[in-house]
Structure 1
Amino acid sequence: MSSPQIKALLVEDSFDDADILMETLGENVGTEFAFTHVLYLREAVEKFSTERFDVILVDLNLPDSEGISTFRKLHKVATNTPMVVLTGVADEQLAVEAVQLGAQDYLTKGTVDGPRILRALRFAIERHRNLVEATTGKQVVDPVEQTWNMGGVPKTIAGYHVRRTLGEGNTGIVFLVEKENEDGQIIGRALKILRPAIVPEKDPDGLARRFLQEAEIIAGVDHPNIVRVFDFGRAKTADFPYMLMEHIDGRSLRHFVGDKASLTYAEKASIVRQLADALSAVHAQHVYHRDIKPDNILVTRELIPKITDFGIARRPLSELTGPLEILGTPAYMAPESFVSSATDHRADIFSLGTLFYELLVGNRPFEADNIPQLARKITDELPVEPRKIVPDLPPLLQQVLARMLKKRPETRYVSAQDVVKDLDAFLLGASSSAADNLGNRLLAHVFGRNWS
Structure 2
Amino acid sequence: MRLLDRYTIIDRIGSGGMASIYRAMDERLDRVVCVKLLRLELEGSGSTSGRSVYQATYSHFLQEALTLSRLMHPNTLRIYDFGYLAQSGRPFQISEFLDGGNLEQHVRSRGACDAEETAAILERISGAVGEAHQHRIIHRDIKPSNILFARVGDYLMPKLADFGIAHSSVVKRAKVGRSTHARGGDLVPGGFEDETSDQVSAVTLFSPRWASPEQLAGSTQGPETDIYALGLVAVYMLAGRPIFEGNDVRGTFADRIRGDELVTRLLSQMDTISEPTRKALLKALSAFPEKRYRSSLSFFDALRRTLIGARPARPPAAFPWKKPRADITMSVEFQVPALQEVANVPPPERAVDLGKARARLVDVDEKLDLTIPSPKGSDVRFRVSFLPLHERSFRINIKGLNCFIRTSGGRPTPAIATDSDGAAHFISTGWEELGEIAWSFGQVASGVDGGRVFRLDGGDMVVPSSQATQSVALFLGSERDVIILCRKS
If the length of structure 2 is used for normalisation, what is the TM-score?
A: 0.49
Deviations 1:59-104 (A, max 9, x none): xxxxxxxxxxxxxxxxxxxxxxxxxxxxxxxxxxxxxxxxxxxxxx
What is the rounded CA distance, in whole Å, between the counterparts of 1:328 and 1:230 in structure 2? 26
- The equivalent of 2:294 in structure 1 is 414
Contact 1:255 1:261 in 2 (8 A): no
Residue 99 of structure 2 corresponds to residue 218 of structure 1: no
In structure 1, what is the Cα distance between the partners aligned to 2:27 and 2:108?
41
2:31 is the counterpart of 1:187: yes
**Structure 1 partner of 2:218:** 340
Aligned partners of 1:404 and 1:413 also within 8 Å: yes
Q: Give the SS at the match of 1:161.
A: strand
Partner of residue 49, structure 1: none
SS in 2 for 1:193: strand
Please report how far the alpha carbon of residue 237 of structure 1 lies from its aligned counterpart in structure 2 after TM superposition: 8.0
CA 1:382–1:216 in structure 2 vs 1: closer, same or farther (change >3 Å)? same
Residue deviations 1:114-164, cap 9 Å, x none? xxxxxxxxxxxxxxxxxxxxxxxxxxxxxxxxxxxxxxxx43435212222
| Structure holding more strand per residue | 2
Runs of 4+ in 1 over 6 A off after TM superposition: none
Name the residue aligned to 2:270: 389
Residue pairs, 1:48-197, within 5 angstroms: 154-168=1-15, 172-181=19-28, 186-194=30-38
Matches within 5 A, 1:301-312: 301=151, 302-312=155-165
Q: In the alignment, which residue of structure 1 is the partner of 2:113?
A: 263
Task: Show CA shifts across 1:426-448 (max 9, x none).
Answer: 5663799xxxxxxxxxxxxxxxx
Equivalent position amino acid for 2:297 in 1: Q
Bigger Cα displacement from structure 2, 245-254 vs 290-299: 290-299
Runs of 5+ consecutive residues of structure 1 not aligned to the other structure:
1-153, 433-452
Say whether the 8 Å CA contact 2:105–2:145 is kept in structure 1.
no
Tell me the number of residue pairs that the alignment of Structure 1 and Structure 2 aligns.
Answer: 271
3-state SS in 1 of match to 2:25: strand
Asked which structure has the greater CA Rg, the reply is: 2
Pairing 1:246-257 to 2, within 5 Å after superposition: 246-257=96-107
Give the whole-Å Cα distance in 1 for the aligned partners of 2:60 and 2:247: 32
Spell out, residue by residue over 1:1-28, the C-alpha distance to the aligned partner (whole angstroms, 9 max, x if none).
xxxxxxxxxxxxxxxxxxxxxxxxxxxx
In the alignment, the residues of structure 2 paired with residue 168 and residue 369 of structure 1 have an alpha-carbon distance, to the nearest angstrom, of: 22
**Contact residue 173 and residue 195 of structure 1 kept, 8 A:** yes
Q: 2:137 aligns with which of 281, 284, 287?
A: 287
**Identity, % of aligned positions:** 27
Within 5 A, what are the aligned runs for 1:4-19? none
Q: Cα–Cα, structure 1 residues 413 and 195, in superposed 2: closer, same or farther, change >3 Å? A: closer
Aligned match for 1:378, one of 238, 256, 265: 256
**What's the CA shift for 1:338?**
1.8
SS at match of 2:243: coil
Tell me the residue number matched to 2:280.
400
Against the structure 1 CA distance between its residues 258 and 249, is the aligned structure 2 distance closer, same or farther, given a 3 Å change threshold? Answer: closer
Deviation at 1:271, TM superposition (A): 1.0
Compared CA separation, residues 179 and 428, structure 1 to 2 (3 A) = same
Amino acid at match of 2:252: L
Of 201, 214, 228, the residue aligned with 1:350 is: 228
- The TM-score with structure 1 as length reference comes to 0.53
Relative to structure 1, the CA distance from residue 240 to residue 158 in structure 2 (aligned partners, 3 Å threshold; closer, same or farther) is: farther
Distance 1:237 1:417 in 2: 45
Equivalent position amino acid for 1:390 in 2 = D
Distance change (3 Å), C-alpha of 1:376 and 1:368:
farther
Q: What's the offset of the Cα at 1:220?
A: 1.2
1:320 aligns with 2:320: no
Structure 2 residue runs of 5 or longer lacking an equivalent are: 43-47, 170-195, 313-489
